Chain A
Amino acid sequence: MTRRPFATIALALAALSGTGLAQASDDYIVLASTTSTEASGLFGAIIPRFTEATGIEVRVVAVGTGQAFEIARRGDADSLLVHDTAGEERFVEEGYGTERADVMVNDFVIIGPGGDPAGISEAETVAEAMRLIAEVEAPFASRGDDSGTHRAEQRLWETAGVEPGGSWYRELGSGMGPTLNTAAAMDAYVMSDRATWVAFENPQDLTLLFEGDEALFNQYGSLLIDPERHPHLKHDLAEQWHRWLLSEEGQQAIADFTVNGQPLFFPNAHSD
């Protein structure tokens, strides 16, 4: 008699646990992508339009670019959308991907404390801006996580002829959002993709100080994964997604996405 309530609770828990864990349908693909696209809200805006058109659900696993490549290499994602053109081309050359296509660009911007102690808002080029920061040794928060953004930042330092280091250069090993949070807390300069910056809600004293140099453009590419290497993946559905991104409809969806009235991604698929 005393056993019954416990048994009832256990049964109820089991029943509760069982429901909802079942997969809804098989009509979905797993897309490995970067945090910038997810956190900015781009996927939230364009995926419903794709799903409406095709009935295919897209499940986004948003991670750093390096991890996204790794997930795709292991065959754990059906599709890949990242922003590291050199890495993407290597992915195809190594035989993991069969096709890579430009989808859209956004750009990087340099953010810093409102007072702008290094005076970078007056700089002509991004290289000059980076040099100014290094000269006054103003605190700079770097992703330090080997992500696409981190690699782009390192290329900029190289162009500027600066080898960053010392106590002013802080490598955080974090994603874009956490890096912005940290930069805000320590009044540091930081390079961010525009999308994450515009959607970021905790700027405190941070403000956009430098933008517009061509060297700051950030190309996104979509990749098709080799069906021979990973035959279990949903290549048909993944290809539909890939083609849709490059189609007029998909490109329009990207162009229509704005945050605070500001477009963040600029479609640039090459119409063949």
Chain B
Amino acid sequence: MNDMLRQPTDTGTGIAPLAFEAVTVTHRGQPLLGPLDLRLAGCHRTLVMGPNGAGKSLLLRLAHGLLAPSAGRVSWEGTTPRQAMVFQRPVLLKRSAIDNLTYALAVSGTPRPERRDRAREALARFGLAPLEKRPARVLSGGEQQRLALARAWLTRPEVLFLDEPTSALDPAAIRAVEEAVLDFHRRGTRILMTTHDLNQARRLADDVVLLYGGRLIEHTPAERFFTQPRTPEGQAFLRGELVW
């Protein structure tokens, strides 16, 4: 394990902090998340952990603005940064790999003449150059996720959300995704990523957010979380005893 990677990077602190204030999500009267207070600042790689149903995906969707809280407030303290999200199952358009990328560029207002070159560059960076003309929907799971990352890359996000991006992938593909996450971070992107893989979290996290039953259990720097978690739930989770 390379210690360099675990250094909290403080470059890119110009990114507005994201604040959750007394946020709750309920569905048909059932509380799913919260009340929850959380503040994410700096250019860290924050890993959101917790057993299934803990509310990890909800937290990400709230942060990205895909979901409005039932009560409370999710807000950026300053200018809303450019954001991108990579989903567990990548949603790719029924077009070729490169057309998926030029589409994202078109939406973000990139002038037409630049789109193709920038898309090719991104394909090459993520090892997809030979697949340029292949329909995105017939790529393998790992290739699809890399394409989704390339698409996110093109929009130069200041904050990148990843919702269990590796849970359906084989080890080689997982490695590729993790390297991509580190690449994003090196470029000054704040990372907020969910995972249920402890080893992955050890490899990537600057700090850890632990959710359990829709509540925030702790938000701790990674070094500390993996050695001496503050809460009994954190200890149980590390022992693999915290389920549901």
Contact = CB atoms under 8 A, between A and B. Distances in A.
Asked if A and B touch directly (CB within 8 angstroms), the answer is yes
Interface of A: 2
A206 B99 CA distance: 70
Contacts of B155: none
A2 B96 CA distance: 9
3 contacts: A2-B95, A2-B96, A2-B99
Interface of B: 95-96, 99
B105 to A, nearest CB: 16
A2 B95 CA distance: 9
A2 B134 CA distance: 12
Contacts of A2: 95-96, 99
Contacts of B96: 2
A64 to B, nearest CB: 53
Contacts, number: 3
A2 B97 CA distance: 13
Contacts of B95: 2
A235 B74 CA distance: 77
Nearest to B96: A2
A2 B99 CA distance: 10
Contacts of B99: 2
Nearest to B95: A2
A2 to B, nearest CB: 7
A52 to B, nearest CB: 60
Nearest to B133: A1
B41 to A, nearest CB: 44
B193 to A, nearest CB: 34
B137 to A, nearest CB: 14
B174 to A, nearest CB: 32
B5 to A, nearest CB: 41
A197 to B, nearest CB: 61
A83 B96 CA distance: 68
B177 to A, nearest CB: 29
The 3 closest A-B CB pairs, nearest first, are A2-B95, A2-B99, A2-B96
A6 to B, nearest CB: 13
Nearest to B99: A2
A218 B33 CA distance: 88
